Structure 1
Amino acid sequence: MSTSVLQQTSNVKPTASFSVRRMDYEFKQLPKYWCLHDPSMTHYFTGLSTLFPEGEAYFVRSVRALRGRVKDNSALDREIGAFIGQEAMHSKEHHAFHQSAQQHGLDPQSLEKLTGTILTALEKVMPKKWNLLMTVGLEHYTAVLGAEMMKKGHELIVDDTIRNLWLWHSIEETEHKAVAFDMYQYLYGQGLDAYLPRIFIFTFCLAFISTLSNSYQLILMSRDKQLLNLRSWAKFASFSVQIGRKLVPQLLPYYRFGFHPNDVDESEILAQTKAKIGLAT
């Protein structure tokens, strides 16, 4: 190998194992009911979406609060940097979606702000370790949800731009699903004293996100004057049973003592989804 090639090789800066992509979706002329042309289905996923801008910002603050303690692990620090970049972009794009959805008069941005108020209050009363654990637990939840969105869930979305938003988000949740978990293990180990708070906070996370997402759905249904739409609620009830049967078995392994997010290999569906929305390269 020539000297010039050796110099070029030595100047290559190590990077994270996944990319930070700058997206800029244009949400124009959004259909009012973009999920199965149905109000309760659409409002459930919109309610879930309103958790993301402030939720992702909370994740970023949680890892940044402890990042200084992992600087001696350069590989993990690079992963954390890319994680922060991806999460910031998720916040930006979901916020843009909510701004555009204002055209239907349901004000999803108000729910986004409420989420921020709740998370800020939690952040102030919980120690840094617990805030990181909230991130770890909710990252597992979003990774499981994202995998299902890539497999079948995207077929429910009738608008191409919103479908691509959810698929891109799902791709990146899968790519960085282990970063916060690895950070937690690096800082606090893998013993019983690390395991017990991990499963306690995860149980709280499940109750927290279920309560908020379902409450937001009810609020949006009320604003849309669809609370008494029994046919729509019946459709959502059927969906809830079906999706519960798929998601619960994937969520429960988190309670296993030796669990790690990378125990499940999603490389095939990840590659297929990247190709589907033009991110294969």
Structure 2
Amino acid sequence: MDYNFENVPRYWCNNEPTFTHYFTGLSTLFPEGESYFVRSVRALRAKAKSNELLDREISAFIGQEAMHSKEHHAFHVSAQQHGLDPESLEKVTGIVLKSIEKVFSKKWNLLVTVGLEHYTAVLVVSMMQSVNELMTDSTIRNLWLWHSIEETEHKAVAFDLYEHLYGSGLSAYLPRITVFTLSLFLITGFSTIYQFILMKRDRQLLNFKSWRKFLGFMTTQYKVLTPKFFDYYRFDFHPNQTDEKDLVASTKIKIGLKNSKLLLS
């Protein structure tokens, strides 16, 4: 994909600074975050070479994540025109993730990826179902929908690699839920902090009307999303227990990918 972000308006989500800066803040996690995901999978890939299907899926996963990083970074570069400097937040994310990568074992780095891939998979379903309608700029909307499609298509790859290497028993389950809990705090904390930073840079931090609208939206969203996040704590959880094929198919049509065959289609 190759998007042109030159004419993206200042407030492209619900015409509100809070909405726009929340999703921009979330977006700034992707370039470095997805590079980290790729490194965590590559670090253990050699041990799964005997599973040809999984190895092919890993190749597709790596290719898709690399493209997501590229396009979201391009969006952040274009957003510099509004003086908000989202690139600086990318750099902070990179520093934090590289520090985590050094401290954690290969297994735990993979588990961060496994957990956050589930977190992302839950979010993108909501994005495809309804949240995209808040995005008034078609380029931004198509970026998020394209990203959502591909996240759904490879949502189980890191999980399958983990189970292939470490099994699905109690000794695999306990680290899985422990790291997921830490990862939830990490991504929630960073996305919130980044939103506040962007609001401050935009001189909208005290825009209480916009905050009220956003908090109402998030309250409604998390009533639906929280049980889906917590599905991960089930002992028998697997990402493919939910089926989004129809939603993905309709979303492809929506953004003009009706006849397009993506990497894992």
- In the alignment, structure 1 residue 144 sits paired with structure 2 residue 122: yes
2:211 to 203, 216, 233: 233
Alignment of 1:106-255 (within 5 A): 106-255=84-233
**C-alpha offsets along residues 42-84 of structure 1, whole Å, 9 cap, x if unaligned?**
0000000000000000000000000010011111000000000
Larger radius of gyration: 1
1:274 to 247, 252, 259: 252
What TM-score, normalized to structure 1? 0.92
Matched to 1:83, the amino acid is F
2:25 to 47, 52, 55: 47
- Alpha-carbon separation, structure 2, partners of 1:101 and 1:279: 26
Displacement after TM superposition at 1:166 (Å): 0.1
1:91 to 58, 69, 84: 69
Matched to 1:206, the amino acid is L
CA RMSD of aligned residues (A): 0.5
Name structure 1 gaps, 5 residues minimum: 1-22
Matched to 2:16, the amino acid is D
SS of corresponding position for 1:68: helix
Matched to 1:91, the amino acid is S
Matched to 2:121, the amino acid is A
- Alpha-carbon separation, structure 2, partners of 1:258 and 1:170: 25
Displacement after TM superposition at 1:246 (Å): 1.4
- Alpha-carbon separation, structure 2, partners of 1:240 and 1:276: 25
Displacement after TM superposition at 1:29 (Å): 1.3
Displacement after TM superposition at 1:156 (Å): 0.8
- In the alignment, structure 1 residue 60 sits paired with structure 2 residue 49: no
Alignment of 1:254-269 (within 5 A): 254-269=232-247
**C-alpha offsets along residues 153-211 of structure 1, whole Å, 9 cap, x if unaligned?**
10110000000000000000000000000000000000000000000011111110000
Displacement after TM superposition at 1:127 (Å): 0.1
**C-alpha offsets along residues 211-237 of structure 1, whole Å, 9 cap, x if unaligned?**
000000000000001111110110111
Displacement after TM superposition at 1:123 (Å): 0.3
Matched to 1:134, the amino acid is V
- Alpha-carbon separation, structure 2, partners of 1:174 and 1:133: 18
- Alpha-carbon separation, structure 1, partners of 2:247 and 2:206: 38
What TM-score, normalized to structure 2? 0.97
**C-alpha offsets along residues 105-137 of structure 1, whole Å, 9 cap, x if unaligned?**
000000011100000000000000000000000
- Alpha-carbon separation, structure 2, partners of 1:149 and 1:120: 29
Q: After TM superposition, what 4+ stretches of structure 1 lie above 4 angstroms from structure 2?
A: none
Q: How many residues align?
A: 259
- Alpha-carbon separation, structure 2, partners of 1:81 and 1:62: 13
Matched to 2:143, the amino acid is L
SS of corresponding position for 2:8: coil
